[in-house]
Amino acid sequence: MMETISWVGFSQGMFAAILVLAKKERSDSDRILAAWLSLLAIEFLLHAADYRIFGKPILSSSFLLFNPACYLYVRSLTIEDFRLRPVQLLHLLPYISVKLIAYLLREPYELEGYFEQDESFWFRILFSVTSVLSWIIYNSRSVMLVVRHRRGLEHEFSTIESSEKVGWLLFVVVFYNLYCVAAIVIGALNVLTGSPSPVMHVYSYSTMLAMVYILGFYGLWQTSIYPVKNSKTDPPGPYSRYPLSAKKRKQISSDLVTYFELEKPYLNPGLNMNMISRHLNIPKHHITEVLNTEIGKNFFSFVNEYRIGEVKKQLLEKGDIYSIESIGFECGFSSKSTFFTVFKKITGQTPMQYKTKSGN
C-alpha cells in the first residue's frame, strides 16, 4: 500500500509542478510552488525506492521540507517587494542534511526502539528537535504573514478578490498544523505503548498526497497579488519613520480629493494604491498616512464611497434605462456581490430600495 501511495504521489507531484510552470504569466510564487511540488514528488520517489532497495523506509521528515517551502511561498505572495534569490535555498539545508545523514546511517523510519541509546541515538534526537523547531518557527511566521496580509488588504486595494484574500492558503496552513499535531500525538502514543504500527507511515504520506492535490489545484488558480513592485524608497511600514507635517498632510489630501473628483480613477475596477501613488508621484506610505489621519478612512472605503456616490447619481439619471447591476459595473465594481455588499454597508439600503425611494 505504501509503495502505491508513493508512486501516485510522485506522479501527481511532478504533473502538478509541470502545470504550474506552464502558466502563461509565471511569477516567483509560481516558481516556488513548482519547486515545492517537485521536491514533494522526489520525497515520494525516494520513499518508494527505499522499499525496493532497503525493504523499509529510511528516516525522513516532511516537516523539514514542507515548513520552509510553505513559508517561502506565503512570503512570495504576501510581501510586495519579494524577490526570489539563490540564498533562499539555504532554507532547505536542514532537510537535505538530515536526508543525507539518514541514508549514510541507513536509519529506518520506525518508532520501535526510537529512544534506545545506540550509535544512532544522537541523530534521532537531533532529527526530532530540528523537526519540531522547524514546525514552530516556520509555521508561526507563515500564519502571521497571511493574517497581516489579510488585515492590510483594505489599505492596498479598492476591489478585494478571493485570490487576494488567499483564504485557501490560510486553510492549508491550518490543515497542515492540525496534521502535525495529530502526527506528534500518534507518534508519542506508539512510543509510549511500545506497539508501533504502520498507521503512522500511511497517515503521513496520505496527508502529504492530499496536500499535493490541494496545492496543485489552488496554485494553478492563484494569481499574483502584487504585479507591480514598490520602489526601494518606499519603506515597508504603514508610515515613514518621520510623520508628515500638518501642512503636507492637508496638501496631499487636497491633491487626492481633486484627482478623484476631476479624473474619477475609481471607475477603474482594478484601481489600487500603487496606481494612485504613481499618478500623484506620492509615496504610498504618505497616502496611507493621509487617508488614516486626515481623511479618517482606509483606501478601500475611500474609493468605494466615491463609487457608491457615482452609482447613486447614475441611478437617478439612468435608473429607468439600465439595470442596477450594469450601473454598478460601470461605476467601478467588478462583481455583483461586492457591489451590493458595499452599497448596503455605506447607505444602509440595497440598490433597489434606494432606486425605489428615489422615484425611479
Summarize the confidence of residues 236-249 as an average pLDDT: 68
With a cut of 60, say whether residue 196 has pLDDT above it.
no
Summarize the confidence of residues 205-233 as an average pLDDT: 79
* Residues 287, 291, 297, 301, CA torsion sign: negative
Look at residue 94 in the predicted model and tell me its pLDDT.
92
CA angle 270, 274, 279 (to 5 degrees): 95
Look at residue 255 in the predicted model and tell me its pLDDT.
95
Strand-pairing partners, residue 272, are: 157
CA distance 38 to 97: 18
Q: Could you read off the pLDDT of 44-99 as tens digits, one per residue?
A: 999 888 888 888 888 887 778 889 999 999 999 999 888 889 999 999 999 999 99
The answer to whether 299 and 291 have CB atoms below 8 angstroms apart is yes
Residue intervals of the chain classified under CATH 1.20.1070 are: 2-221
CA distance 11 to 48: 12
Residue intervals of the chain classified under CATH 1.10.10.60 are: 246-357
Task: Confirm or reject CATH 1.10.10 for domain 2-221, answering yes or no.
Answer: no
* DSSP structure class, residue 338: H
Q: Letter for the amino acid at 168?
A: W
Which residue's C-alpha cell is 544522537? 122
Least confident of 112-116, 141-145, 276-280: 112-116
Share of the chain above pLDDT 70, in %: 92
Exposed e or buried b per residue across 5-38, where buried means at least 16 C-beta atoms within 10 angstroms of its C-beta: bbebbbebbbebbeebeeeeeebbbbebbbbbbb
Q: Could you read off the pLDDT of 296-345 as tens digits, one per residue?
A: 999 999 999 999 999 999 988 887 888 999 999 999 998 898 999 999 99
Least confident of 170-179, 231-240, 258-267, 336-345: 231-240
* Residues 325, 328, 329, 335, CA torsion sign: negative
CA distance 278 to 231: 10
Least confident of 76-85, 93-102, 221-230, 351-360: 221-230
Alpha-carbon distances, residue 138 vs 69, 143, 166, 247, 316 (angstroms): 9, 9, 18, 44, 54
Alpha-carbon distances, residue 194 vs 57, 64, 114 (angstroms): 19, 26, 10
CA distance 120 to 114: 9
Residue 52, C-alpha cell as written in the block:
525496493
Look at residue 227 in the predicted model and tell me its pLDDT.
61
What's this model's pTM, rounded to 2 decimal places? Answer: 0.84
Q: How confident is the model at residue 230 (pLDDT cuts 50, 70, 90)?
A: very low
246-357, CATH topology level: Arc Repressor Mutant, subunit A (1.10.10)
Residue 219, C-alpha cell as written in the block:
496554485
The answer to whether 290 and 253 have CB atoms below 8 angstroms apart is yes
The answer to whether 332 and 310 have CB atoms below 8 angstroms apart is yes
Look at residue 166 in the predicted model and tell me its pLDDT.
87
CA distance 148 to 323: 38
With a cut of 90, say whether residue 24 has pLDDT above it.
no
CA distance 294 to 101: 60
Most confident range (mean pLDDT) of 57-61, 198-202, 248-252 is 248-252
